[in-house]
Amino acid sequence: MLKLRVMRVRCPLVRECMAEFLGTFVLMFFGCAAAAQVKTSNETKGQFLSGNMAFSVGVMSAMYLTKGISGAHLNPAVTLSFCVLGKVSWSRLVPYSLFQVVGAFVASGVVYLVYYDAIMTFSGGVLTVYGRNETASIFATYPSDYLSVGRSFFDQVVGTGMLLLCILGLEEKRNTPAPSELVPVVVSAVVLGISISMSANCGAAINPARDLGPRLFTLAAGWGTEVFTCYNYWFWVPLVAPLVGAVFGSLMYLIFIDWQLPDPDQLERISTISEKLEKKKEMS
C-alpha cells in the first residue's frame, strides 16, 4: 500500500475533479441503466419507481465513495449553491461542473454498450426522440407533450430549490444535524422524494450535468441533432432552471433557517443553562 501511495495526485483540485467525475459516473450509471432496463423491456423488468430508486441509490453510493475528497457535489447546481454560500471557492465551479458533465457522458456510453442489443431490438435500429419506440429518454430528460416551456422551467426551479433547501442544513450543528455517516442516506432519500413526486412533467433532472452529459452522448452516438432541437429547443431548460433553482433554494435556506438559528455563543450559553438545570434536578 505504501508503494501505491506514490500514485497519489498531489494537486488538490485535480483530486477533487477526479472524485466528481467518478461520483457522477456512478450516479448516472445506476440511473440510466435502470431506465434502459425499464424502457427496453416494456416495463416487464422494472417500472416507474425503478429508475427513481436507482438514481437515489446512485446518489448514496457516489456520496459514500467521494464525499471525503470533494464533498460529492455530483451536480453543477449544488456546486453553484456552495459557491454562493461561501462553502466552496468560485474557482471550483467550472472545473467541478466540467468533470461532472464528463462523468455523466461516460456513464451514458457504458450503459449504451451494456444495453446495446436491447436498445437496438426495442427501437428496430432507429434511434429517435419521438414515438412509442423512442430511446433517447433512457439517457436525457424530455418534457411531457402537455407541458409548456414556462411551466417546465418553473418545475425545474422548484425541484432544484427543494433539493438545496432540504440538504443544506444536514450538517448544521446549531440545528438538528444528521450523523455524518448517514448524510448520504438522507440526501438519497431527498432525491427519491423529489423524483417520485416531481418527475411526471419533465423527468426531474434537477442537475445540469445529469442532463447535458447524456444528451451530448446521444448526439454523438446516433440520435442526431434532434436531441437538442426537439420540443422547440427545450434542452436549455434542464441546464438553466436548476441553476436558478439552486440559488433560490439557497436564499430560502439562508432567510428562513440559517439567519434565524442561534449564534454559536448563544447556543453554548443555552446548553450551559440546560446542563445546570439538569444538575439541580438531579441534586433535588
DSSP symbols for 161-219: HHHHHHHTTTT-TTS-PPPGGGHHHHHHHHHHHHHHHH-TTT-----HHHHHHHHHHHI
pLDDT-based confidence at residue 276 (cuts at 50, 70, 90): low
- For 110-136, the pLDDT digits (tens) are 999 999 999 999 999 999 999 999 999
Burial readout 169-184 (b: 16 or more C-beta within 10 A, e: otherwise): bbeeeeeeebeeeebb
CATH topology of domain 12-259: Glycerol uptake facilitator protein (1.20.1080)
Q: What is the pLDDT of residue 142?
A: 97
pLDDT-based confidence at residue 57 (cuts at 50, 70, 90): very high
Q: What is the pLDDT of residue 263?
A: 85
Are 79 and 104 in contact by the 8 Å Cβ rule? The answer is no
The average confidence (pLDDT) of the chain is 93
pLDDT higher than 90, residue 236: yes
In sequence order, the 6+-apart residues with CB closer than 8 A to the CB of 136 are 127, 128, 129, 142, 218, 223, 226, 227
In sequence order, the 6+-apart residues with CB closer than 8 A to the CB of 249 are 81, 160, 161, 162, 163, 164, 165, 168
- Please name which of 87, 74, 75 lies closest in space to residue 243, comparing C-alpha atoms: 75
Among residues of the chain, what percentage have pLDDT more than 70?
91
- For 197-221, the pLDDT digits (tens) are 999 999 999 999 999 999 999 999 9
Among residues of the chain, what percentage have pLDDT more than 90?
89
Count how many residues are written for the chain. 284
Q: What is the pLDDT of residue 267?
A: 57
Are 16 and 67 in contact by the 8 Å Cβ rule? The answer is no
- For 8-21, the pLDDT digits (tens) are 899 999 999 999 99
- Please name which of 28, 51, 195 lies closest in space to residue 111, comparing C-alpha atoms: 28
How would you class 238 by CB atoms within 10 Å of its CB: exposed for 0-12, middle for 13-18, buried for 19 or more?
A: buried
Q: What are phi and psi of 157, to 5 degrees?
A: -65, -45
Burial readout 73-90 (b: 16 or more C-beta within 10 A, e: otherwise): bbbbbbbbbbbbbeebee
- For 64-83, the pLDDT digits (tens) are 999 999 999 999 999 999 99
